[in-house]
Amino acid sequence: MNNSDLLNKNNSVPYLKSPAISYDGSQIAFSYSGDIWLVPSDGGDAKLLTSHIGYNDRPKFSPDGSYLAFFSKRTGNGDIYIISLKNEEIRRLTYDDIADVLDCWSPDGKWIYFNSGMDGIGGFAYKISIEGGTPIKIAGDPHELYYSLAISPNGKTLAFNNNGYAWWRKGSRPSGASHIWLVSEKIGSNDYRKITDYQGRNLYPMWDSRGRGLYFVSDRDGNENIWWQDIKTGKTKQITHFSDGRVMRASVSGNGKWIVFQRDFAIWKLDVTTGEAFPIQINVRADRKIYPISHRVINGDVWEFSLSPDAKKVLFGHRGKIFVTSAEKGTEKGRASYRITNTQSRDCQISWSPDSKKAVYVSDRTGENQIYLYDFTEKKETQLTNSSTPANLPKFSPDGKWIAYFHGREEIRLIDTQTKESKQFITGIFDFGFNSPSSFSWSPDSRWIAFINRDENYFSNIYVQNIEETSPKQVSFLSHISSDNILWSNDGKYIIYNTSQFRFESQIARIDLQAPKPEFREDELDKLFEEEKKEEKKDGNEEKKETEAEKKKEPETINIEFDDIRHRIRFLTSPQMNCHALAISPDSKMLVFHWPMMGNNNLWSICFDEDRKDDPPKQLTFGNGGKWAVYFTSDSKRIFYIDSGKVHFLKIAENGGRDGDPKAVETRGEMDIDIDAERLQMFNEAWRMIRDNFYDPKLHGADWEAVRDRLLPVVKGLKHQEDFHELLNLMVGELNASHLGAGGYDSGIDDAYLGLDFDWKELEKTGRYKVASILPESPSALAKGQINIGDYILAIDGVDLNRSTDLFNLLKYKTKKRTILTVNDKPEKEGSRTVTVQPINFGNMSELRYKNWVKENEKYVHEKSNGRLGYVHIRAMSYEAYMKFLVDLDTETQNKEGVIIDVRFNGGGFIATFILDVLRKRTYVQSSYRGKRPVSATNMAGNRIFDKPTILLQNEHSGSNTEMFSEDYKRLGLGKVVGTPTSGAVIWTSNINLLDGTWFRVPFIKVENVDGENLETESREVDVYVERPLGESLQNKDSQLDTAIKCLLEQIDKQ
């Protein structure tokens, strides 16, 4: 379906969501187009209550029906507001920059309950007075998520959800079960009780009017329906009996007679007594807050660019639009570049013709990526391909006779630039990624194409194929998984490309296409005298003829010596440098590459000519902005490149270094963006990405065409980006798979933290801020004893703290600023002292929370094992976490007999094999100094070896690469696995960015064990099953750690 077909359909469906029903069941509030609306519960014309560009959602009626609370992003990432239904006055309640997700009101209407990650180490349950003040923490466990809070009619018991896959994911998996728990509302209560046993979806707990049971949404009958459960006996009753569709965001009236919910993109109402459910006809007439046609002016934020061969013009792209401008001086200041495409599609992958008069590019305006040619002399665009198979990465041959491009992922085709006919050229397996294949390069004589091909082990290597031949020849033979950006030197003598086995250790490799020949310095001297003789004999006309002849000189025919070519590869950089080659100079004497040294992203150069080949790399640019897409001018004296989204050029000195400072090319462009048309393009592109790249060709059984057809009318009715993200999530939710999703980028977090936890009971009762704990290494801890547990914080920067004070509001924007606290050991000013602190931001506070949690676990293991065992927690399967693991392992093995390896709450990454390499090594050879005891020869040689027993601790939050780690750990026999089964979420995934900046995840590589079992949807089991019930953290108890300690000590004692 092409993009114009999408636009030509006139049917659209409004997306009504997040319904709530008043206590007496007479009114329904809901969200539409990012605002809150009100409608009679029997339907009719809806009334708009809020009108703000910030997203508004999740309305909840107060028990007396006089107020609506709602969630809004008008002031950041999401706060709670209240609107009066009498005068429509709006008042803000919460002030932190973490999303505060509204859940319910207290029965007396004095409190509002919500869940939030503001504590930095989990999603906890909070409440806040409707008069304002600092939110009060009710309940929570480190790393756990409490959500969908519901308070009982008598206000004494809190029901909530814990665990579970994303709400938009359709279908059940035992590993992704969401459960309902109960706990007393009283702060510090420890009477937690899980009331659901079904290993699937148990969502949106809602109390019945008597407080004896809960309604909730479950798919235990194979479809999502409303159920009821007696909280004492556990007896359940099915209320609705839908055989298809979704039931989402259910909400009950205060009198317990009605439930409203989302279904089929409409709002439904359920009579609890009769079990009858029906959709409500609601009429909405939303005026746009943003005009659908947006005129944008850009200067910078270049997504891609290409320098013309004559170095006079620059093509650049932004948001799917292609522009051309002058490379010499940029455009005249204030004037826009010339836009050559005028669609609401993604036009990209731009490349110049050798004569600098034409350009080729890719556009998805027909619904699939196709190739187009633009002739600047005729101001005319021509479509070159028209196939159901995507076309990508078109490149002219240097002689201009051919355009090569990827046809799908297993073919390179050639277009004759005269006849426009296309023919098959190369077949292979070019890339298993998505969006566009990786790389190929024409030889300077236009007779060869070098490309990256994958073998049966997925190793990527360089192959070349002559334009007159039908089969390629391999020229590199590495066991590396990744290769990209092939560069063929202009003298035809070598190929350079990037290759890596690990994603943070890319190397630049050079393949010499001919056996190297000796270079004699004497030849250079002889050449100088020959040139002097020529100069003496030449007259003016001869010089002119020679210059013209040089311009018309045909490139030399390239001769590749394939004998022994496998040994003519060498690395120009070490793995630790993680460098990427970007461009070879036209004189073939210099390479410009990217080197992220010390975290600074800059361009460097190395030289290949005899006089300078031993010189160290020269730094060309400075600063930390992203730099990429390098082009040389034909004389090798300048480079053009992108730095922080802007095109720059820089002169290159004779020695390969920089000559002066870089200068920017003005890339000012104007465009009109049709938001509706662009949204349909993005929807279609995201849908295609899944269709073409999802790891399972059967799409987990989803009818993908039907999914698009069902969602398309709703997408056409959307008016807010947040709703678009939600529709994308509902689309991929049909796949019932992990590693999926879509979203935007939240605004920054401006909250400042002192590192204090307060006595929440005291705060609720008296409004006083009594210190209950001090986070180690936090600003308050660094005050060196000036603040103590039991002290009262009376004021901040002279502002008194009381019941109505919101601490987050008071501390906002104070990060790294001098802040004066008034402190006393009693709740009064007399005898108080001032303490100066420097608050930290959310990220630093969250990091301290995690470090403290690990230290507490270390202390727990040391004490429980009487100092015999060490403890290491692996936070993520990232390179940073791997380096931290090595440090922690060294520390925790000192004088210990064994180590507990904890991967609970580790969501994955990619370095599981690195950790396994450390754990699996054993000592077979020993070394010793004279008269000293022998130790592992491996350690003596500088390579770490771990030779002690371990045990692995995992839980249902251990996912992805962590599950691969668990599988290998068990199969290698490294030790027992303790805890609960993992999350069953194992696919290799990656992100693309859609035109408006929306990120969209595409899982594209399957993971299975050697027995053929798909690790996606199947948890990794444990040897010893033990849960850690919610609430144990309050008792300083960890049942899972206790079991791990017991099992490992038993193993050691038996040895």
Contacts of 821 (CB under 8 A, 6+ apart): 754, 787, 793, 795, 796, 834, 835, 836, 837
Backbone dihedral region of 193: left (phi > 0), alpha (psi from -120 to 50 degrees) or beta? beta
Q: Are 276 and 295 in contact (CB under 8 A)?
A: no
Q: In 3D, which of 962, 852, 944, 986 has the Cα closest to residue 901?
A: 962
Q: Are 28 and 46 in contact (CB under 8 A)?
A: no
Whether residue 457 has pLDDT greater than 70: yes
3-class DSSP state of 205: strand
Q: What is the DSSP letter of 379?
A: T
Which residue is associated with the tokens 């949690």?
853
Q: In 3D, which of 127, 123, 116, 179 has the Cα closest to residue 151?
A: 127
3-class DSSP state of 41: coil
Helical packing angle, 721-733 and 704-716, nearest 10°: 160
Q: In 3D, which of 821, 813, 848 has the Cα closest to residue 96?
A: 813
Tally the C-alpha atoms within 13 A of residue 110's C-alpha that lie toward its C-beta.
Answer: 3
d(CA 922, CA 924): 6
Give residue-wise pLDDT tens across range 883-920. 999 999 999 998 999 999 999 999 999 999 999 999 99
Q: Which residue has the higher pLDDT, 286 or 888?
A: 888
Question: 1051: burial class by Cβ within 10 Å (0-12, 13-18, 19+)?
Answer: middle
Where is 907: in which H helix or E strand? none
d(CA 857, CA 849): 12
The whole-angstrom distance between residue 87's C-alpha and the CA centroid of its chain comes to: 43
d(CA 815, CA 84): 34
Q: CB 946: neighbour CB atoms within 10 A? A: 20
- The DSSP bridge partners found for residue 494 are 512
Q: Are 209 and 255 in contact (CB under 8 A)?
A: yes
* Sign of torsion over alpha carbons 6, 7, 10, 11: positive
φ/ψ (deg, to 5) at 888: -65, -40
d(CA 776, CA 768): 23
Whether residue 675 has pLDDT greater than 80: yes
Tally the C-alpha atoms within 13 A of residue 441's C-alpha that lie toward its C-beta.
Answer: 21
φ/ψ (deg, to 5) at 312: -105, -15
pLDDT at 533: 63
- The DSSP bridge partners found for residue 987 are 1006
Q: Which residue has the higher pLDDT, 96 or 519?
A: 96
Q: In 3D, which of 303, 358, 377 has the Cα closest to residue 646?
A: 303
d(CA 54, CA 289): 10
φ/ψ (deg, to 5) at 131: -85, -5
State the virtual CA torsion across 93, 98, 103, 107 in degrees, nearest 10. -40
Q: State the average pLDDT over residues 847-876.
A: 98
Q: What is the DSSP letter of 15?
A: -
Q: Are 992 and 999 in contact (CB under 8 A)?
A: yes
d(CA 864, CA 874): 21
Q: State the average pLDDT over residues 516-527.
A: 70
pLDDT at 517: 80
Give me the DSSP letters along 952-987: EEE-TT--THHHHHHHHHHHTT---EEES------E
Q: Which residue has the higher pLDDT, 869 or 553?
A: 869
Q: Are 29 and 35 in contact (CB under 8 A)?
A: no
Strand 370-375 versus strand 380-383 pairing type: antiparallel
pLDDT at 852: 98
Confidence of residue 331 (pLDDT cuts 50, 70, 90): very low
d(CA 462, CA 452): 5
Q: State the average pLDDT over residues 247-271.
A: 97
Contacts of 447 (CB under 8 A, 6+ apart): 466, 467, 468, 557, 558
Question: 700: burial class by Cβ within 10 Å (0-12, 13-18, 19+)?
Answer: middle
Give residue-wise pLDDT tens across range 61-70. 999 999 999 9
Give residue-wise pLDDT tens across range 289-324. 677 888 999 998 999 999 999 999 999 999 999 999
Confidence of residue 935 (pLDDT cuts 50, 70, 90): confident
d(CA 300, CA 602): 19
Q: Are 54 and 42 in contact (CB under 8 A)?
A: no
Whether residue 1050 has pLDDT greater than 60: yes
d(CA 606, CA 591): 5
3-class DSSP state of 635: coil
Q: Are 498 and 484 in contact (CB under 8 A)?
A: yes
Domains of the chain: residue spans and CATH: 3-8+15-283 (2.120.10.60), 301-437 (2.120.10.30), 752-840 (2.30.42.10), 865-984+1019-1054 (3.90.226.10)
Q: Which amino acid makes up residue 170? A: K
Q: CB 798: neighbour CB atoms within 10 A? A: 8
Q: State the average pLDDT over residues 325-330.
A: 78
Q: CB 597: neighbour CB atoms within 10 A? A: 13
**Lowest-pLDDT range of 98-102, 354-358, 723-727, 782-786:** 782-786
Joined together, the tokens standing for residue 21 give 């029903």
pLDDT at 9: 47
Determine the Cα angle at 279 with ends 274 and 284, to 5°: 145
Which residue is associated with the tokens 């004279």?
930
Whether residue 435 has pLDDT greater than 80: no
Question: 40: burial class by Cβ within 10 Å (0-12, 13-18, 19+)?
Answer: middle
Give residue-wise pLDDT tens across range 200-239. 999 999 999 999 999 999 999 999 999 999 999 999 999 9
**What mean pLDDT is reported for the chain?**
93
Whether residue 547 has pLDDT greater than 60: no
State the virtual CA torsion across 285, 287, 289, 295 in degrees, nearest 10. 130
Q: In 3D, which of 509, 28, 512, 484 has the Cα closest to residue 250?
A: 28
State the virtual CA torsion across 271, 273, 274, 279 in degrees, nearest 10. 10
Joined together, the tokens standing for residue 464 give 């070349």
Confidence of residue 554 (pLDDT cuts 50, 70, 90): confident
pLDDT at 684: 97
pLDDT at 521: 65
Give me the DSSP letters along 871-889: EEE---BSHHHHHHHHHHH
pLDDT at 335: 66
> What is Dmax (Cα atoms) for the chain?
111
d(CA 239, CA 335): 65
3-class DSSP state of 864: helix
Joined together, the tokens standing for residue 534 give 């020529």
**Can you give the length of the chain in residues?**
1055
Q: State the average pLDDT over residues 409-428.
A: 96
Strand 1024-1025 versus strand 999-1006 pairing type: unpaired
State the virtual CA torsion across 605, 609, 614, 620 in degrees, nearest 10. -10
d(CA 969, CA 963): 10
- The DSSP bridge partners found for residue 66 are none
Q: Which amino acid makes up residue 844? A: N
φ/ψ (deg, to 5) at 272: -65, -35
Give residue-wise pLDDT tens across range 647-665. 999 999 999 999 999 999 9
Q: How much is the CA Rg of the chain, to the nearest whole Å?
A: 33
